[in-house]
Structure 1
Amino acid sequence: MTDETTPRPSAPGDERRDRPALSRKNLLKGALLAAPVPLLLGGAPALARTLRPAAERGERLAPTPYCDDGDDPTPPQMEGPYFKPNSPRRTSLVEPGTRGTPLTVGGYVFGRSCAPLANVLLDFWQADENGAYDNVGHRFRGHQYTDARGAFELTTIVPGLYPGRTRHIHVKAQAPGRPVLTTQLYFPGEPRNATDAIFDPALLMTVRTVGSGKEADFDFVLDVPGTPPPTTPPPDPGATWRAGTDYRPGDRVAYGGAPYTCLQGHRSQAGWEPPNAPALWRRS
């Protein structure tokens, strides 16, 4: 099978590329703020569990990497010298006696159309807390598959540092019958990010401290074509909101039996109904 491992040049530092404020993926993610259910918009996934804290802090909601119906997939990176095949299938790399800062990495895998991808193979490997790889057994190595929503979750520790590299986690991702993407995930705020020649800011995870451990989020975008998730809602005879309308900040509409106030000027379209687009509408 083909292995997409060609390194991509990267700029030093943690700065993200500027991205448009609105996209299909941002709006689908924003729906998580308005509804706690796992599936929205007729089967579209609820995404990026970091959005609610970020919104509460007033920060810009920027997914990594950006997915907007045709944008670049997650960039590949070199495999490195420590990959081993035949890792055990497991979602936790923590074993009895494991030391280090606990870390949970979660997210989703999408195709180029932003449709979630089920049964994607994700093979992770990393250094231990001292920066050493187990090249004899399979410590801190394991593979899993995304669920029906395209979601994954990995329980591990924050990897240690070793000479010449910043802190990182290796991963291979393969959708059924598609080529393998080999890449690496990085931690924001690491001093060595600025000096690591391989580091790519497009591969930064969103990381936060929770108790004595860390939680991180990352959404993969694979070079897989597909049909975007449906966004046409069922009819709402009492709604005054209409697709194709130019709304201005302060405009008020009704939808789903509730009043909403427009927050950002925009031309409405299917999928951007007020309950599903908290970046555009606030329930009054």
Structure 2
Amino acid sequence: MLKFRRKILQASAGLLLAGPLFSQRHALAQTPACDDSPTPRQIEGPYYTPQTPRRSNLIDGLPGQRLLLEGRVLSADCKPVANAIVDLWSCDSEGVYDNTGFKLRGHQVTDAQGKFRFETLVPGAYGNSSFRRTPHLHVKVQAPAAPLLTTQLYFPDEPLNQRDSFFNPALLVKLQQSGQQAKLASFDFVVPVQAKG
């Protein structure tokens, strides 16, 4: 019994020492500095569909490269905003929107840390020779005690970015990982939350 107790104490001491090392290795990236500039607004576009389903996987069996988009909704002073609705929609990899159902459409509610996460597809470009849109995601963010934010997100190194009159470099996602199977992207929305009182 004494030997067993000693082993448990040794194991516990090892966990206490390893704990700080483990948390440093797996710590999330620090929140970028926020200022009083909210995320820029952009047009809704003609393809918005209200009352999307609450879900994180928007793919519905469609072909294309998977995109994992995650991020947070933050106030201007970098505090997480819980219970914000993040509504996401986009075209498919061929540049076609589903205007009869909810493929590549859905919303999430942020958790206590202001986090959201979607699994969707990398959208394609669309348009014609005189007006062509660069690949982008449409987003609406409705945070408690804040006005509705409607905007679009863009991808770095897209050739059409510079030709698209709506493109705004402040709305570029950060690509953390790029592979043949999936891209991992992140974006934090900053919304002007009004103080309670």
Match of 1:93 in 2: 58
What is the count of residue pairs matched by the alignment? 169
Q: Secondary structure at the match of 2:53?
A: coil
- Deviation of 1:211 (Å): 4.9
Q: Distance in 1 between matches of 2:29 and 2:41?
A: 22
- Deviation of 1:116 (Å): 0.5
Q: Distance in 1 between matches of 2:54 and 2:75?
A: 23
Matching of residue 117 in structure 1 with residue 81 in structure 2? yes
Superposed, which structure 2 residues align to 1:14-93 within 5 Å? 34=24, 36=26, 46-47=28-29, 63=32, 67-68=34-35, 70=36, 72-93=37-58
TM-score, normalization by structure 2 = 0.80
Distance 1:36 1:179, change over 3 A: same
Matching of residue 209 in structure 1 with residue 178 in structure 2? yes
Matching of residue 181 in structure 1 with residue 145 in structure 2? no
Contact 1:113 1:225 in 2 (8 A): no
Contact 1:112 1:225 in 2 (8 A): no
- Deviation of 1:34 (Å): 3.4
Stretches of structure 1 lacking an aligned partner (at least 5 in a row): 1-32, 38-45, 52-62, 228-284
- Deviation of 1:201 (Å): 0.1
- Deviation of 1:36 (Å): 3.2
Matching of residue 135 in structure 1 with residue 99 in structure 2? yes
Identify, as 1 or 2, the structure richer in helix. Answer: 2
Match of 1:149 in 2: 113
Runs of 4+ deviating beyond 3 Å? 33-37
Q: Distance in 1 between matches of 2:180 and 2:137?
A: 22
Aligned partner letter, 2:59: V
Aligned partner letter, 2:141: A
1:183-209 CA distance string (max 9 Å, x none): 000000000000000000000001130
Contact 1:109 1:220 in 2 (8 A): yes
Q: Distance in 2 between matches of 1:103 and 1:218?
A: 13
Q: 1:194 aligns with which of 155, 159, 162?
A: 162
- Deviation of 1:223 (Å): 1.1
Aligned partner letter, 1:185: L
Q: 1:103 aligns with which of 57, 67, 83?
A: 67
- Deviation of 1:129 (Å): 1.2
TM-score, normalization by structure 1 = 0.56
- Deviation of 1:210 (Å): 3.5
Q: Distance in 2 between matches of 1:182 and 1:86?
A: 15
Match of 1:23 in 2: none
Stretches of structure 2 lacking an aligned partner (at least 5 in a row): 1-22
Contact 1:47 1:108 in 2 (8 A): no
Q: Distance in 2 between matches of 1:158 and 1:166?
A: 12
Aligned partner letter, 1:131: G
Aligned partner letter, 1:168: H
1:12-57 CA distance string (max 9 Å, x none): xxxxxxxxxxxxxxxxxxxxx93635xxxxxxxx446xx9xxxxxx
Q: Secondary structure at the match of 1:218?
A: strand
Match of 1:41 in 2: none
Q: Secondary structure at the match of 2:170?
A: helix
1:242-282 CA distance string (max 9 Å, x none): xxxxxxxxxxxxxxxxxxxxxxxxxxxxxxxxxxxxxxxxx
1:96-140 CA distance string (max 9 Å, x none): 3x2000110011110011100001000001001110001111111
